[in-house]
Amino acid sequence: MVKSTPYSLDDWGRILRALQLVDVDGKEILPKLLALYESQVLAFYDPHSHTYYSIRQLPKLPPQAAQLADPKLLQETVMVHELTHALQDQHFSLGAKEKLLMRDTDANLAYHAVLEGEALLVMVAHMLKKSSVDLDEVIHDDAMTDMIGSAAAAESMVDPSTPPYFAAMLKFPYLEGLKFVVAAYRKGGWKELDRVHANPPRTSREVLHPEEYFERTFQAETFEDAKPKGAIAAEHLGEFHWRYLVGADAATGWLNDRAIIFKDGRVQIETKWESLESATSFARAYEAFLKKRGMAATITRDGAAVRASYTAQ
């Protein structure tokens, strides 16, 4: 998460707090993230240095996870997963694409969902093969793929003290990414995933609704990342973030957004929706959310566009 943000840690903390995504103080963000990664990361591939890293000793796992984890098997599956990222970089220039998406949070999240979903599917295929089971034998079983995705993003693997937003950001690429990648594999196997890499989803909406991506019923709009004077960020939140803030129902029908966060704490939000109904539903839910958070917000709706402004404390 830290590596894929263009901000300093202090600014990133201010942005997250201004958008009401976290409550922790800026000084607490790094320790919270480090604690989360220490409990999760056994190995990782760095696409910028093209280097694979692996730790020598397993971290202490939460009790629930420790009961389920065979250390040797865990290390093997993680190695397969991370080396898949190395192959993605070799064939599809993972590091270069990450840099291009650095200032578009929603597109970055969507792309990482493809990467993690595919790596997870490769890992699953490897484990099935060890049991003499072919991936194609189980790929059409929704219950099986749901179980695999849920296991990969299990609550038991995340410390309860982790800020909920960080946990949600950690789980989304695995849980929803796997569902998206499974939809691609069902359409045309690994070749279809190669085609996805050539034209990856640009929004979390497409990951959450794979049928819209594959049937081309949703066309992602351009995000303007230019910052006005006095702003520290122009953010693109996407359906994932609005779901996190106001719930899935109120986030349905999202088309585009732009969130400007100023140095003095002012926040200006512009959103676009599919219909008057979806815009009205979002406006009501967001107004209620901000009120509950103690924000004196101004919410206006112009047709299917909703704007909000407030000053974060």
Residues of 182-202 as b/e, b for ≥16 C-beta within 10 angstroms? bbbbeeeeeeebeebbeebbb
Amino acid at 243: R
How much is the pTM?
0.90
One-letter amino acid at 86 equals: A
Count CB-CB contacts under 10 A for residue 266: 15
* Helices within the chain (DSSP H only): 9-18, 26-40, 63-68, 71-92, 94-100, 105-130, 142-152, 164-198, 204-208, 210-214, 238-246, 248-251, 276-292
Taking the alpha carbons of 242, 218, 180, 41 in that order, is the dihedral positive or negative?
negative
- pLDDT attached to residue 57: 67
Cβ burial, residue 308 (10 Å; 0-12/13-18/19+): buried
User: What is the model's pLDDT at position 1?
Assistant: 35
User: Which of 121, 204, 197 shows the shortest CA–CA distance to 168?
Assistant: 204
**Boundaries of every domain in the chain:** 9-214, 231-311
> Tens of pLDDT along the chain (313 residues)?
345 678 888 898 899 999 999 987 666 776 777 676 666 667 889 999 999 998 776 656 555 454 445 677 778 888 999 999 999 999 999 999 999 999 999 999 999 999 999 999 999 999 999 999 999 999 988 887 777 776 665 544 667 778 899 889 989 999 999 999 999 999 999 999 999 999 999 999 999 999 999 999 999 999 988 999 999 999 999 999 999 999 999 999 999 999 999 999 999 999 999 999 999 999 999 999 999 999 999 999 999 999 999 999 7
| The total number of residues written for the chain in this structure | 313
pLDDT the model gives residue 73: 79
Q: What class has domain 231-311?
A: alpha beta
